[in-house]
Amino acid sequence: MTRTVPRLIVFDLDFTLWDCGGTWCDCLTPPFRQSDARLLDCGDRHIRLYDDVLWILDHCDQHSITMAVASRTEQPPWARELIGLLGITERFAHAEIYPSSKLKHFASLSQQSGVAYDEMLFFDDEMRNIREVSSLGVTSVFVETGMSRKLFEHGMARFAQP
């Protein structure tokens, strides 16, 4: 059987889906606030989705591809709050957000979703996570400078390769 589209696409958060003023979300200073259509922390660090992220999420929704997030953050409540404030909570069927190995995140995602590792596509900005998750049989793509449409399309093409 030829696989063309992943059954589950998993995204990391920091430096993958969003930029938090050049740091990780667990290094921010809550409370978070909206100011002139910008999401800021108390230190005025701007939290924003990378430019193509909404296009990517829309594409997945339009093609009925289930999405999840997996983040090793030390501040899960902050990450969940930011997902909500950025208006993308409902996009993700599953969220594994807690400090642990991505192997634990993916074991839980596979169990919850019923999706085998070889039917998943994963995007992350940390090479150690890419190596770990790839060892499970997940098609894993290194995100060097935030998610872009070009990188997403590259990942989809890699997944479809026999």
Of 119, 73, 127, the closest CA to residue 95 belongs to 73
Active site residues: 12, 14
Tokens representing 72 are 């090793």
DSSP 42: T
Angle at 129 between CA 60 and CA 155, to 5 degrees: 35
